[in-house]
Structure 1
Amino acid sequence: MNAQDMLSTPINLDFYLLNDLLSDDERALVARVRTFVDTELLPVINDYWERAEFPMQLVPRLAELGIIGTTIEGYGCPGMSRLAAGMVALEMSRGDGSINTFLGVQSGLSMGSINLLGSEEQKQRWLPQMATLDKIGAFALTEPDHGSDSVALETTARLDGDHYVIDGHKRWIGNGHIADVVVLWARDVADNKVKAFIVEKDAAGAYPHGYVPEVITGKVGKRAILQADIRIDGLRVPVANKLAYAESFRDASTVLAATRSGAAWEAVGHATAAYEAAARYAMERIQFGKPIAAHQLVQNKLANMLTELTAMQLICFRVAQLADLGQLTGPMSSLAKMHTAQKGRWICSSARDLLGGNGLLLDNHVARHLTDMEVVHTYEGTDFIQSLLIGRDITGISAFR
């Protein structure tokens, strides 16, 4: 095969023909998202990522894609299968992790909390406008001193007449500085149970007194999605804004379990982009008179990258099937998240190696996916935490205490 043939060779990203398992509607949805990523997201994202700014200009187009709310049925949401929702996350992450996180916070965490734990009146009140992105959501659980052990959160809520008064501190809250609807988790001092409250902007677009967000700066990954550090002091939230069925931390865990597989799909998206970039580069980069793809070591690396990517795909497809059947367990989700985060991180690192110095340039996209994978490796439960959840399932013994 000559160099020209190599340059025109397509990159096989679906070695086991998993896309054949999609319905025609799902394939059309994937194609729609992929076109958006290729024609509208990729041409602009590096500039926003480098400046650490969120591309608000893309929000109307994201709304037009018809993907907000993913698996939620009714209220203007698309009611996708878990497989379709996973493929949307994969394709969006193949473009950029920050945009996928924005969508995950919107559809999975904030809208998901309201859908799972809200009353019918609350769902009707908030979900339709969130489905069109007329209202942006946030999910405020993590605190400065409580990430993996968020069950021990210290933010408190005290009933005072027809309001709850909330005091505390939240950190790493995606969209927390711009959201119109913030799902805020706090411990009710009356019964020491963790509950969820909706904080809303007023008609003028201002947060109520006592909710003070500040954007976290200096990140090396997910730079185009902004997280907030939020000081909460005497914040008054109407009783009607307490989510009706959020009565304990177990309910927060239910939301997190439902979204954990989304992180696994995102890892596949980053790994897909990195592998594709590395394979194309290997066929185009000429050194010592021939493409570097002609060397045995490079082919060995690409073969191992494809093997791990395919294993990641297989896990995520099976997780989606189990979720649609109602058979997905927490440890199953943990295994998927742990494996895909480990291997996605390795694939992105390997791609950076294969690109050499050019792998450091944003124009080649690999560096952005590499640093974003560092974030995915951490959120929705770190590698260590996932391993302990799986270990508890294996042994019946909890190693958390």
Structure 2
Amino acid sequence: MAGLFDKAKNIYQLLKNVDFNQLEALSKKVDLPKVMDQFSRLDERQLQGLMKMMSGGTGGKKELPPINGDFYELSGSLSAEDRALQLKVRQFMETEVKPIVNRYWNRAEFPFELIPKMAELNICGLTFEGYGCANRSFLMEGIIATEMGRIDASIATFFGVQSGLAMGSIYICGSEEQKQKWLPPMQQMKLIGSFGLTEPEVGSAAAGGLTTTAKRHGDTWILNGQKKWIGNATFADVNIIWARDVDDNQVKGFIVEKQNLGFSAKKIEDKMALRIVQNAIITLKDCEVSEANRLQNCNSFKDTAKVLQMTRAGVAWMAVGCARGAYESALKYTRERVQFGKPIASFQLIQNHLVEMLSNVTAMQTLVFQLSKLQDEGKLTDEHASLAKVFCTMRTRDVVSRAREVMGGNGILLDYDVARFVADAEAIYSYEGTKEINSLIVGRAITGFSAFV
């Protein structure tokens, strides 16, 4: 009798909210007595399942777990001070950048109003000692790159050029006088920098093939040549230019100011990726640079490579951010997008994609955490940085592709963010050393043979 009572109660629960006008209309389409007879034949488990399905699959409103790409809680290992800085940068990206980023990305324009707000974070030159810099860990620098990349890779790239490549060139290769003059205003973002290494016909072969030349005449150097893909160069105050000294055939670095005669920068148009970044072709035509603006501690490409090694690790972290942003956007979308009467996140194939995305993101995160640990211990090598760059940018491409896939047609719309992550991942995959070149660096380290031409 008790079982019959429970069954009747469950049937009542199913029908108690039925509108009788709807019930009358339904009776014209189905045999209601037969339906009720079938209900009466269901056991307790089947009735509970039917009730769950009819209430949206959960038996009521269910509190979903938080969306968090840090699945292994690696941020939990940070000190309270570092965690506070991470959350400070995250808030800046969420409140200041995210609301405007798609508009600027679509127009291929830079949001200059963000520069003074970013300066207030006091994070430029984070790992440098002195000159107004914070002297924090490389781990913290990487986490900041990820927090920026998680919202927008263009802003992360702008910051990486300013804080890493431009300031880093002066910090590593400059004299003490040059550091005192240039680093404090760059740290405060009162001066913006660019980094000019790549050329129209010279990318991967920069170590031995720069066509931009430098010729010394007394205390003046004359620079001639072109640079391509130079981020920030359309508006930078300070441009780090790498050129081949025609007298000793060695690469040297120069601080070229935007007002220098013979210097010009033209914006590269019609990019499909990192559209906020103002990449330029720099032309140097008998550009005069004083000996005081030659980086005094750069005597060959090996010195340039020290800067690239440091910043290549940051690119790996940025790739993690791009992947994490795509994953979290896709997860949010699949929990809200309803098809066949249920959120698509409840379907097996969608969950498989989400888990594969999270697996990649988590593997990348654990790799770069160890990478920065090596860097903080002074053990980072070229091959360490290159392996991270290869792996993280490859996995990022896979993550953003799956994110776009689970979002269907909406995945190609800027409104949902993932389309921007898909495009920007292609640029991250190629810059600061292609996959092939970085693979050869690692290959040389593990085999003992150099496969470079």
Q: Is the aligned partner of 1:394 residue 2:446?
A: yes
Higher relative contact order (CA 8 A, sep 6+): 1
Determine the structure 1 residue equivalent to 2:433.
Answer: 381
2:237 paired residue number: 180
1:43-94 residue CA offsets vs partner (Å, 9 max, x unmatched): 0111110000000010000000111112111101122201110010000111
What is the one-letter code of the residue matched to 2:391?
H
Q: Are residue 110 (structure 1) and residue 166 (structure 2) matched?
A: yes
Whole-Å Cα distance in 2 between the matches of residues 3 and 180 of structure 1? 61
Partner-residue secondary structure (3-state), 2:355: helix
- The question of whether the paired residues in 2 share the 8 Å contact of 1:7 and 1:284 is answered with no
Give, in angstroms, the shift of residue 5 of structure 1.
4.8
1:268 aligns with 2:324: no
Consecutive unaligned residues in structure 1, runs of 5 or more: 202-206
Change (3 A) 1:4 1:192: farther
Q: Any idea what SS the aligned residue of 2:439 has?
A: helix
Contact 1:6–1:283 (Cα < 8 Å) also in 2: no
**How many correspondences in the alignment?**
396
Number of the residue aligned with 2:73: 17
Tell me how far apart the structure 1 counterparts of residues 59 and 303 of structure 2 sit (CA, whole Å). Answer: 57
Matched, 1:33 2:66: no
Supply the distance in 2 between the matched residues of 1:27 and 1:2 (Cα, whole angstroms).
35
* 1:204 corresponds to: none
Provide the residue aligned with 2:400 in structure 1: 348
Q: Which residue of 1 aligns with 2:107?
A: 51
- Name the CA distance, whole Å, in 1 between partners of 2:422 and 2:135: 32
Q: How does 1:366-377 map to 2 (within 5 A)?
A: 366-377=418-429
Would you say the 8 A contact 1:3–1:283 is kept in 2? Answer: no
- Tell whether the 8 Å contact from 1:211 to 1:235 is kept in structure 2 after alignment: yes
Percent identity among equivalent residues? 51
Distance in 2, Cα, partners of 1:4 & 1:395: 60
State the match for 1:158 in structure 2: 215
Task: Give a deviation string over 1:6-65, Cα, whole Å, max 9, x none.
Answer: 674312322212111111111000100010111110001111100000000100000001
154, 167, 172: which one pairs with 1:98? Answer: 154
Pairing partner for 2:184 from 106, 114, 128: 128
Aligned CA RMSD, in angstroms, stands at 1.2
Aligned to 1:195: 252
In structure 2, distance between residues paired with 1:41 and 1:380: 24
Q: What does 1:209-228 align with in structure 2 at a 5 Å threshold?
A: 209-228=261-280
- Deviations 1:188-218 (Å, cap 9, x if unpaired)? 11111100011114xxxxx222111100000
Unpaired segments of 5 or more residues in structure 2? Answer: 1-56
Name the CA shift for 1:189/1:6 in 2 (closer, same or farther; >3 Å).
farther
SS at match of 1:138: strand
CA contact (8 A) 1:3 1:291 kept: no
SS in 2 for 1:56: coil
The answer as to whether partners of 1:92 and 1:99 remain within 8 angstroms in 2 is yes
Partners of 2:142 and 2:59 lie apart in 1 by 36
Q: Report the alpha carbon displacement of residue 2 of structure 1 after superposing the two structures with TM.
A: 2.4
* Residues 142 and 173 in structure 1, CA contact (< 8 A), matched pair in contact too: yes
Gap change, CA 1:350 and 1:44, over 3 Å in 2: same
The alpha-carbon distance between structure 1 residues 6 and 237, as it changes in their structure 2 partners (threshold 3 A), is farther
Q: Deviation per CA, 1:69-121, whole angstroms, max 9, x where unpaired?
A: 12111101122201110010000111111111111001110100000011110
Partner Cα separation in structure 2 for residue 92 and residue 4 of structure 1: 37
Q: Which has the larger radius of gyration?
A: 2
1:229-268 → structure 2 map (5 Å cutoff): 229-268=281-320
Displacement of 1:383 in angstroms is: 1.0
Task: State how far apart, in whole Å, the 1-side matches of 2:70 and 2:288 are.
Answer: 51
For 2:317 and 2:84, how far apart are their aligned partners in 1? 19
Separation (CA, whole Å) in 1 of partners of 2:264 and 2:343 = 55
Deviations 1:307-357 (A, max 9, x none): 111000000100010000011111111111100000011101100000011
* Residue 336 (structure 1) aligned to one of 343, 364, 388: 388
SS of the residue 1:352 aligns to: helix
State the alpha-carbon separation in 1 of the partners of residues 268 and 61 from structure 2.
47
Quick check: 1:171 aligned with 2:228? Answer: yes
Residues 190, 25 of structure 1: alpha-carbon distance in 2 compared, 3 angstrom cutoff: same
Distance 1:45 1:296 in 2: 33
- Measured in 1, the distance between the counterparts of 2:282 and 2:104 equals 23
Contact 1:136/1:181, CA 8 A, preserved across alignment: yes
Normalising to structure 1: TM-score of the pair? Answer: 0.97
| Cα shift readout 1:134-183 (whole Å, capped 9, x = no counterpart) | 00001101001111111111111001122000101110001112111111
Q: State the TM-score, normalizing by the size of structure 2.
A: 0.86
Identify which of 51, 58, 63 aligns with 1:2.
Answer: 58
Letter in 1 for 2:236: A
